[in-house]
Structure 1
Amino acid sequence: MAMPLDNKGNNTLYRWRWAGKTLKGRVVRGELIASNKAEAEKTLHNQHIIIRQLARKRFTRGMGRVNSRDIMLFSRQVATLIRAGVPILQALQVVAQTQKKPVMNKLIQDVMHDISAGASVTQALKRHPKYFDPLFCHLVAAGEQSGTLDTMLERIATYQESNESIKRKVKKALVYPTAVIAVGIGVSALLLINVVPQFEALFNGFDAELPAMTRATIMLSEFVQAWWQWAAAAMLITITVCIQAIRRSPSIAFRVHQFALRLPILGSLLNKSAVARYARTLATTFSAGVPLVDALTSAAGATGNRVYEKAVISTRDDVSGGLPLHIAMRMSGQFPPLVIQMVGIGEEAGALDAMLDRVAEYYEDEVSTVVDNLTTLLEPFILVLLGGMVGFLVISMYLPVFELGGAM
């Protein structure tokens, strides 16, 4: 029976709550994911369960969304089961039954179907490039060839945890000041639109000239009241156009990333995070037996920055031409001297993967330090900025009142 399709052509899955008995008469109950009642009944019959109740849960429509954390947990769970001696198909079935997201359950079921049809694990994963990138597939292929699939999946999970940790730290450094400033602008706009006009009506009854600060605030309030919708729309359109331009134009994205790397403080954070992700990715793939040129290809996409991506691709081309890695990195002109020196030592000692791991650990610690320092430095600055914005508006409104009271 074909699965029903949603408006986008995707299979629509639902969560079903069931209750029944085993063949020995034991009462059992639980939940499962299926596209329709017949499929849910078939799944339970295959588990030798006599169904007493089967009902679709409410508010479960939709496929959900697979994120990097879902893939990381999937890798670790499958690795644990394989290490315990569970065959790959059975391990995937167990992991699928634990999924709360219908889309993740469907993804695993599709992988199981491909493997059952004769595909290797790597081939099955490559059919879903949206969720399993080339780095993931490279490592799984190395694990299949060497008989260490569990180790490779565990290594993937560890790598993804480190990568997500770096991303969270960078986001923390960017989101906090942005959110606080946005709140400050919102409060100021609220005062200008709703509060200042009340004071303006009061001041119209004064037979005196208003202070310059108050007049400026009233003029600003009148401007905001007349144009705030257009200003908000223009800001939204500008942000949308910029985002789309960055996504669709590699040259614009490169220039934006290049500009971001040159910003004070923030640029240092982005540089260190890109180097950390490059080193961690290269160490993970190279130690798994992936050829260095292929490992560099994976590392280029993992840096998260177009400038470093271009530098890594240039490094890869030079390495494929016969140059040592550290010399190729120096010729790209992007990597710090410390990284180049440590890579050179690793190549000479035959321990490149271990040295790259040390580089990654060092720069991950540097990212943590920069984020902590940035937060510490920004907090008083933001407080002063917000206090100044709101304080200016409040003082400018009460200043005529104080002057009037002094005159009386």
Structure 2
Amino acid sequence: MNGYWLYRWRGITDEGEMREGHLLAAGKMSVRQDLINQDVQPLTVRTIGYLSSGYWHDGRLMDLTSQLASLLEAGLPIRESLRLLADDHPRLGWRCLLRLLSAKIEQGHTLSLACGDFPVVFSPLYCGLLALGELTGRLDRCCRLLAEHELRLGQLKKKVRGALRYPAFICLTAAAVLTLMLTLILPEFARLYAGMNAPLPAPTRGLMALAAAAGDHCLTALLGALSLYGGYRRVCYYHPRWRQRTQAALLYLPWLGRLVRHHNLHQLFQTLAITHQAGITLDNGLEMAVRTLHHPSFRHAAQLLQQHIRQGFALYQAFEGQRLFPPHCRHLIKTGEHTGTLDEVFQQLARLHEQQTYRLADGLAQLAEPLLLLIMGGLVCAMVIVLYLPLLQLGEVFGDF
């Protein structure tokens, strides 16, 4: 499940009092069961909308976590803090979620267990650090660490997506311009030249043939491309190994592969840094990293590290033979283990790969912009020159007379 449904309900209590409200749930049956458990007989349950993972991961979790840390540092109880955040939040879905968390805490649940019931919103790292804060009595400190982690991770994701979004926009614009030229402009030139009864140059004939094919089969090609994309998504859904192979192949692309590699390395070492700083063991920190990483190759590498740690190896020894990790990672971690400064080494590696990710993202945008514009302009200029070749030849013929 990649999201939750938002419902509006109306019901009547055992005392005959009418009530109404909103609930987040996986389905209508779940809403009805929750209301019955609260001694409310549901009368109507209406669907408002589906809140996907994108709704929950737009930076608001970082803001809420920071505000929660401030309220806890001020001495407010966790249940009252959640209610205050719910009352002040502008978005209905978040208000419902915060009230659900407050209700679960009132029923005797801990905050980490309550958040664990919503894995789309709260990652394993998030719930694990909350659990540690509850055990140590430093929930405010753990919330502050989580807010800083979410802030840095959000900024990095925004940077990477921005670097990839602009080249994609240029490519789509170029494809749209070329399609319009092939389907609208070139047919007019074809009709013009057909009335001249003169032989056309070979490049012009080829371009006219391409325009005719595009006009006849444009819709078929579009439907075929959409079908291929839909088929690929379906294959990846039912056979995850295909998706893993595709994501692994991205690592070997000249520029994009380095960007993906440094981004995942930053995410891994940032997770280890924050868990080690919070006092979580290395084994549990790697477990959280495995559940947090999305790239299958790096997730598998983290699992191998965890296996070596459980077998009694030092962390720097576990890095031996791991091709995804640069040599400096092993050397720095070895130094950190020998000097007892492993948390500082994790933070240093996280910052290093974060800087590399920013640098590559900026470089990709700076390189792609002029290159794609040059390709697009070159294609358009070439098409214009090929189109006007017959007119230039006619000008030469009239010039001879």
Q: TM-score normalised by the shorter chain: which range applies?
A: 0.7 to 0.9
Q: 2:148 aligns with which of 158, 168, 180?
A: 158
Q: Go from structure 1 to structure 2 and tell me whether the alpha carbon gap of 1:378 and 1:163 turns closer, same or farther (over 3 Å shift).
A: same
Tell me the TM-score normalised to structure 2 length. Answer: 0.85
Q: Go from structure 1 to structure 2 and tell me whether the alpha carbon gap of 1:134 and 1:369 turns closer, same or farther (over 3 Å shift).
A: same
* Aligned counterparts, 1:245-324, within 5 A: 245-324=235-314
- 2:186 maps to 1:186: no
CA distance in 2, matches of 1:236, 1:359: 41
Aligned length: 360
- 2:326 maps to 1:330: no
- 2:358 maps to 1:407: no
Q: Alpha-carbon deviation of 1:10?
A: 4.1
- 2:63 maps to 1:67: no
- Contact 2:268–2:289, Cα closer than 8 Å, also in 1: yes
Who is 2:212 aligned against?
222
Deviations 1:60-79 (A, max 9, x none): 95465322522222211111
Structure 2: gaps of 5 or more residues: 11-19, 24-46
Who is 2:123 aligned against?
133
CA distance in 2, matches of 1:174, 1:61: 33
- Contact 2:62–2:151, Cα closer than 8 Å, also in 1: yes
* Aligned counterparts, 1:32-181, within 5 A: 34-35=21-22, 61-62=48-49, 64=51, 65-181=55-171
| Structure 1, 375-384 or 101-110: larger mean CA deviation | 375-384
Kindly provide the amino acid, as one letter, of the partner of residue 76 in structure 2. V
- Contact 1:63–1:103, Cα closer than 8 Å, also in 2: no
Q: Go from structure 1 to structure 2 and tell me whether the alpha carbon gap of 1:13 and 1:370 turns closer, same or farther (over 3 Å shift).
A: farther
- Contact 2:145–2:274, Cα closer than 8 Å, also in 1: yes
CA distance in 2, matches of 1:188, 1:304: 36
| Structure 1, 369-378 or 259-268: larger mean CA deviation | 369-378
CA distance in 2, matches of 1:13, 1:290: 42
Structure 1: gaps of 5 or more residues: 1-7, 15-32, 37-59
Q: Go from structure 1 to structure 2 and tell me whether the alpha carbon gap of 1:236 and 1:200 turns closer, same or farther (over 3 Å shift).
A: same
Kindly provide the amino acid, as one letter, of the partner of residue 149 in structure 2. Y
- Contact 1:75–1:157, Cα closer than 8 Å, also in 2: yes
* Aligned counterparts, 1:233-248, within 5 A: 233-248=223-238
Kindly provide the amino acid, as one letter, of the partner of residue 8 in structure 2. T
CA distance in 1, matches of 2:69, 2:238: 37
- 2:379 maps to 1:389: yes
RMSD: 2.1
CA distance in 2, matches of 1:139, 1:381: 45
- Contact 2:164–2:365, Cα closer than 8 Å, also in 1: no
Who is 1:21 aligned against?
none
Q: Alpha-carbon deviation of 1:181?
A: 1.0
Deviations 1:74-98 (A, max 9, x none): 2111111111122111111111112
Kindly provide the amino acid, as one letter, of the partner of residue 121 in structure 2. Y
Match of 1:304, SS?
Answer: coil
CA distance in 1, matches of 2:149, 2:86: 22
| Structure 1, 358-367 or 345-354: larger mean CA deviation | 345-354
Q: Alpha-carbon deviation of 1:333?
A: 3.3
CA distance in 2, matches of 1:135, 1:351: 22
- 2:345 maps to 1:355: yes
Q: Go from structure 1 to structure 2 and tell me whether the alpha carbon gap of 1:83 and 1:63 turns closer, same or farther (over 3 Å shift).
A: farther
Q: Alpha-carbon deviation of 1:355?
A: 0.7
- Contact 1:13–1:61, Cα closer than 8 Å, also in 2: no
CA distance in 2, matches of 1:249, 1:63: 26
CA distance in 1, matches of 2:9, 2:388: 60
| Structure 1, 203-212 or 64-73: larger mean CA deviation | 64-73
- Contact 1:143–1:151, Cα closer than 8 Å, also in 2: yes
Who is 1:339 aligned against?
329
Q: Go from structure 1 to structure 2 and tell me whether the alpha carbon gap of 1:185 and 1:275 turns closer, same or farther (over 3 Å shift).
A: same
Q: Go from structure 1 to structure 2 and tell me whether the alpha carbon gap of 1:272 and 1:104 turns closer, same or farther (over 3 Å shift).
A: same
Q: Go from structure 1 to structure 2 and tell me whether the alpha carbon gap of 1:365 and 1:400 turns closer, same or farther (over 3 Å shift).
A: same
Q: 2:8 aligns with which of 6, 12, 16?
A: 12
Who is 1:202 aligned against?
192
Kindly provide the amino acid, as one letter, of the partner of residue 364 in structure 2. L
Q: Percent identity?
A: 28
CA distance in 1, matches of 2:304, 2:379: 47
CA distance in 2, matches of 1:104, 1:224: 48
CA distance in 1, matches of 2:143, 2:283: 21
Kindly provide the amino acid, as one letter, of the partner of residue 269 in structure 2. A
Deviations 1:35-75 (A, max 9, x none): 49xxxxxxxxxxxxxxxxxxxxxxx9546532252222221
Kindly provide the amino acid, as one letter, of the partner of residue 306 in structure 2. R
Q: Alpha-carbon deviation of 1:314?
A: 0.7
CA distance in 2, matches of 1:376, 1:118: 54
Kindly provide the amino acid, as one letter, of the partner of residue 163 in structure 2. A
Deviations 1:158-197 (A, max 9, x none): 1112112222222223222121011101110011111111
Kindly provide the amino acid, as one letter, of the partner of residue 312 in structure 2. G
Match of 1:277, SS?
Answer: helix
